[in-house]
Structure 1
């Protein structure tokens, strides 16, 4: 009988732990809100203007980088 009680306690503890893990909070909404600037060439979402400059230099070297003021009005 002692083993039966241990088994029930272990099962209850495992259910509590599983409930803690299953209740995760998604950060997709916060991530989407942080990505406010879009590349004018390929429309990829970027977090800030400095990253946009780096992206444009690396991926679209023939295109000119738009001024920062274009993105300040949208944000």
Structure 2
């Protein structure tokens, strides 16, 4: 019967670990809050102006890159 007790202990331990992982582990909200600049052409969100410039050069090379001042809040 010792195996039955070990099995129950393992199940309880697994439940505790699953509950620990389930609460508040997602960073989607924080990531979304960090994306503040939107590409004027495709509406993709960027974290900062430097990333926007890289994006514009790679994805929209014919478009004019807007000034950094136009994104100041």
Q: TM-score range by the shorter chain?
A: 0.7 to 0.9
Q: Structure 2 unaligned segments of length 5 or more: list them.
A: none
Instruction: Give unmatched runs, 5+ long, in structure 1.
Output: none
In the TM superposition, 1:1-75 aligns within 5 A as: 1-72=1-72, 74=73
For the pair shown, which has the larger CA radius of gyration, 1 or 2?
Answer: 1
Q: Deviations over 1:23-70 (max 9, x none)?
A: 242211111111100011111101111111111111111111111100
TM-score when scaled to structure 2?
Answer: 0.81
Give the total of aligned pairs.
73
Bigger RCO (CA 8 Å, 6+ sep):
1
TM-score (norm 1): 0.79
